[in-house]
């Protein structure tokens, strides 16, 4: 089974970003290395949710282009997409599931729940473990 490895500092960065963006969903792109089933996060790019919505998130087209450019510049793969659910559980919403299915490139989705204060990670519909390094 796949797993994703994050440091304590990286979790803190995502947590602070989520708190700052409340009551709206926050989002970020996770860059790193894939080694077999292990996805290790090396860099986080905090992005702007152009929907500015508590129940949805969208990256602008410019940010989407930038997302790929950064991957080349950093020489790291895009391994995951982070977003928060300020008023929900850390499970994919129906909209999230739709995008997870369209996006078959195997990104790890990390969701942070503002109500339970926890992170969960998913690949397609399967929950995968988050480890701390
Ligand atoms: Zn969501």
For 75-133, give the DSSP string: T-EEEEEEEEETTS-SS--HHHHHHHHH-TT-PEEEEEETTTTEEEEEETTEEE-EEE-
Average pLDDT value for the chain: 95
Total number of domains constituting the chain: 1
> Span 27-43, mean pLDDT?
96
Could you tell me the pTM of the whole model? 0.95
pLDDT digits (tens, 9 = 90+) for 78-88: 999 999 999 99
Domain span holding position 9: 3-132
Give me ligand 1 centre to Cα 2, in Å: 20
Task: Give pLDDT, residue 104.
Answer: 67
| CATH number assigned to the domain comprising residue 105 | 3.40.140.10
In the chain, what percentage of residues exceed pLDDT 70?
98
What's the pLDDT score for residue 100? Answer: 84
Q: How far is the CA of 120 from the centre of ligand 1 (A)?
A: 11
pLDDT level of residue 47 (50, 70, 90 thresholds): very high
Ligand 1 midpoint to CA 66 (Å): 22
Q: How far is the CA of 13 from the centre of ligand 1 (A)?
A: 18
Cα of 89 vs centre of ligand 1, distance in Å, is 9
CA of 49 to the centre of ligand 1 (A): 12
51-107 per-position pLDDT tens digit: 999 999 999 999 999 999 999 999 999 999 999 999 999 999 999 988 888 776 779
């Amino acid at each position: 089974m796949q797993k994703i490895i994050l440091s304590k500092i990286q979790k803190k960065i995502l947590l602070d970003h989520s708190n700052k963006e409340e009551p709206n969903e926050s989002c970020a792109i996770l860059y790193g290395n894939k080694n077999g089933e292990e996805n290790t996060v090396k860099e986080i790019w905090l992005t702007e949710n152009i929907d500015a919505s508590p129940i949805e998130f969208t990256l602008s087209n410019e940010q989407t282009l930038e997302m790929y450019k950064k991957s080349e510049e950093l020489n790291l793969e895009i391994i995951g997409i982070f977003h928060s659910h300020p008023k929900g559980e850390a499970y994919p919403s129906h909209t999230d599931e739709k995008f997870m299915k369209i996006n078959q490139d195997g990104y790890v989705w990390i969701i942070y729940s503002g109500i339970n204060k926890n992170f969960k990670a998913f690949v397609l519909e399967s929950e995968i473990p988050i480890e701390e390094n």
